């Protein structure tokens, strides 16, 4: 039997809304994901308590400058910071507050990533990298290792400062693109290159789809695929924690 690919299977956007939270909690409780990226500026206390009940998964800060219920300045801050119009003090303040919001709720963090992959902007990546090193966090870089050819992958890989220590998959298999055909192509690509451990990012949600909501439909599709294809996934992937795959002290 072919050895399974070791995977840190991480779900993004916990805290975004009840449907995302429910989908992530369901898959976590079934052992179908091993990591959760948390949006601190959306997270309520009850959702935090629900997540803390599942201690078998790694938890990370899903840093955001683009969305917040409480702070309408986030989009303009992202635009100004990306263009270099302002210095990094505001960014570092936002990062500090989101990090400590989770710490105060009792969340033990092992990694750092960012909503909408804003760490692709070099002036945002550098402060995040410094923060990750200071707090001994794994930093996810959106550089994808896959057979797929698309504009997003081309842009992301050209902007990324460096590849991940743990090769990343999933950017080209979001929503409707997460299907058996594409996953088989991804597995074949990894095996041909003898890549035996990866970070797979997903965005599941359980329901909550409105008319014309293509993003919501995509999230529901990801949830159903992971749940329905659990046997196929487990045949080809060994779902492990980040701590089991990355060589640094957490």
Report DSSP letters for 3-22, one per residue. Answer: PPEEEEEEEEEETS-HHHHH
Does domain 5-244 fall under CATH 3.20.20.370? My reply is yes
Residue 60: pLDDT above 80? yes
Give residue 185's pLDDT. Answer: 98
The mean pLDDT of the chain is: 89
Question: Residue 28's pLDDT is what?
Answer: 96
**Secondary structure (3-state) at 101:** helix
β-partners of residue 59 are: 36
> Percent of the chain having pLDDT more than 70?
88
Distances (CA, A) of 223 to 11, 75, 206, 230: 10, 28, 6, 11
Residue 91: predicted pLDDT: 85
The structural domains of the chain, with segments of one domain joined by +, span 5-244
Contact criterion met (CB below 8 Å) for 207 and 216: no
pLDDT score at 84: 62
pLDDT in tens, 12-59: 999 999 999 999 999 999 999 999 999 998 999 999 999 999 988 999
User: Who's near 241: CB < 8 A, 6+ residues apart?
Assistant: 8, 34, 35, 56, 57, 58
pLDDT score recorded for residue 98: 96
- Residue 248's pLDDT is 53
pLDDT tens-place string over residues 152-184: 899 899 988 788 889 999 999 999 999 999 999
Q: Cβ distance 24 to 204 under 8 Å?
A: yes
Beta strands in 5-146, from DSSP E residues, in sequence order? 5-14, 35-38, 58-63, 111-114, 138-139
């Amino acid at each position: 039997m072919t050895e399974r690919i070791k995977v840190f299977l991480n779900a993004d956007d916990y805290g975004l809304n009840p449907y995302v939270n429910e989908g992530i909690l369901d898959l976590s409780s079934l052992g179908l994901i091993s990591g959760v990226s948390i949006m601190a500026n959306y997270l309520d206390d009850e959702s935090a308590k629900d997540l803390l009940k599942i201690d078998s998964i790694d938890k990370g800060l899903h840093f955001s400058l683009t969305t917040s219920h409480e702070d309408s300045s986030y989009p303009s801050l992202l635009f100004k910071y990306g263009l270099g119009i302002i210095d990094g003090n505001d960014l570092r303040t936002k990062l500090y507050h989101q990090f400590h919001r989770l710490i105060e709720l009792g969340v033990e963090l092992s990694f750092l990533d960012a909503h909408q992959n804003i760490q692709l902007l070099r002036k945002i990546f550098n402060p995040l990298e410094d923060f990750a090193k200071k707090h001994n966090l794994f930093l996810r870089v959106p550089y994808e290792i896959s057979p797929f050819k698309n504009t997003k992958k081309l842009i992301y890989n050209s902007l990324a400062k460096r590849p991940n220590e743990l090769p990343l998959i999933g950017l080209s298999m979001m929503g409707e693109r997460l299907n058996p055909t594409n996953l088989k192509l991804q597995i074949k690509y990894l095996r041909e290159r003898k890549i035996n451990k990866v970070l797979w990012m997903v965005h599941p949600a359980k329901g909550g789809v409105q008319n014309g909501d293509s993003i919501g439909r995509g999230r529901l599709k990801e949830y159903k695929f992971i749940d329905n294809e659990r046997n196929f996934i487990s045949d080809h992937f060994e779902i492990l924690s980040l701590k089991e795959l990355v060589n640094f002290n957490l």
